[in-house]
């Protein structure tokens, strides 16, 4: 059992928790993830490590309430416990040797992008961060990004905060003006990452994307998180849980990944509705 030592609502749909898990906190690095179960009968869900406190032995997670399991997790209070908390899993984001990096985050993906930006900043890299949200009410982690970024651009789809438009707008402006980045690291919705890659393609800047497909065991055995990559002209299957979650953005078949990601949307919607109905009935 793992104790929830802190929790905080970042906005109406996104929650931050700090979980007491000293062994995970000791080894976890930016870009890695954990798999948790809320209770004995709960499903396994992957969540990226959003920060660690090695002294306190805690791991920070940030999640969006999108389904039955995250709804149940969000009901947990400080001092309560979750059943399982396994990790760190996956390969940490490669940051060694990078001197100038653009970190592009979208929505709740900013929770994954933020510790990467922090790790780069701690290594002495020059960090430009571009973060985007649908509107100002969904803005998260502004102070954290400000602290670890040499330059921060905030975008909202409706223009209610920062600049209006999507994250590719300032990215394209920077690249066209002659900005040279060692790497662009982008984390967010698949469609956003796809267009970040296409924006960078004419300029030949390397792009790393963080993939978060459906996962079950987190060890590569179930195959649920498989992705198709085009490596050297060949279509290769890779697994996000053990080969990733970071991949070369130019190699990822985003269209296939988006198609697979929609497979269980109706099932998840029904599961959440059932869970909400049970809560209303007091069960």
Q: Do the two domains 2-89 and 93-200 of this chain adopt the same fold? A: no
β-strand 234-239 against 246-248: which pairing, if any? unpaired
CA distance 117 to 67: 28
For 206, residues 6+ apart whose C-beta sits below 8 A from its C-beta are 182, 183, 184, 248
CA distance 174 to 98: 18
The domain locations on the chain are 2-89, 93-200
Please report the sign of the dihedral spanned by the C-alpha atoms of residue 220, residue 94, residue 253, residue 168: positive
* Tens digits of residue pLDDT in 156-175: 999 999 999 999 999 999 99
Q: Which of 130, 232, 225, 240 is nearest to 185 (CA)?
A: 130
CATH of domain 93-200: 3.40.50.80
Tell me the CATH architecture of domain 2-89. Answer: Beta Barrel (2.40)
CA distance 248 to 181: 15
Residue with the bigger pLDDT between 280 and 148: it is 148
Share of the chain above pLDDT 90, in %: 67
* Tens digits of residue pLDDT in 249-274: 999 998 888 887 676 666 556 655 65
pLDDT band for 203, please (50, 70, 90 cuts). very high
Q: Which of 44, 51, 33, 50 is nearest to 73 (CA)?
A: 44
Average pLDDT over every residue of 191-198 = 96
Which pLDDT does position 212 carry in this prediction? Answer: 83
Q: In the structure encoding, which two tokens stand for residue 48, read together?
A: 């990226």
């Amino acid at each position: 059992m793992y104790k929830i030592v802190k929790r905080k609502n970042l906005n109406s749909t996104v929650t931050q928790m700090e979980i007491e898990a000293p062994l995970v906190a000791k080894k976890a690095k930016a870009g890695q993830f954990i798999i948790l179960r809320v209770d004995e009968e709960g499903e396994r869900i992957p969540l990226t490590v959003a920060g660690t406190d090695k002294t306190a032995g805690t791991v920070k997670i940030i999640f969006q309430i999108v389904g039955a399991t995250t709804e149940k997790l969000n009901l947990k209070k400080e001092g309560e416990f979750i059943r399982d908390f396994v990790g760190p899993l996956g390969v940490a984001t490669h940051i060694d040797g990078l001197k100038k990096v653009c970190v592009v985050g979208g929505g709740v993906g900013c929770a994954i992008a933020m510790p990467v930006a922090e790790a780069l900043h701690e290594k002495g890299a020059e960090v430009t961060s571009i973060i985007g949200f649908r509107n100002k009410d969904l803005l998260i982690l502004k102070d954290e990004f400000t602290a670890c970024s040499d330059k921060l651009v905030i975008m909202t789809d409706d223009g209610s905060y920062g600049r209006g438009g999507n994250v590719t707008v300032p990215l394209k402006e920077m690249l066209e003006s002659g900005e040279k980045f060692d790497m662009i690291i982008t984390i967010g919705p698949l469609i956003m990452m796809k267009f970040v890659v296409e924006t960078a393609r004419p300029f030949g800047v390397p792009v790393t994307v963080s993939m978060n497909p459906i996962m079950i065991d987190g060890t590569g055995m179930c195959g649920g998180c498989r992705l198709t990559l085009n490596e050297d002209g060949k279509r290769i299957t890779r697994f996000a849980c053990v080969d990733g979650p970071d991949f070369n953005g130019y190699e990822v078949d985003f269209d296939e990944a988006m198609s697979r990601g929609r497979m269980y949307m109706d099932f998840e919607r029904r599961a959440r509705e059932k869970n909400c109905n049970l809560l209303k009935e007091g069960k």
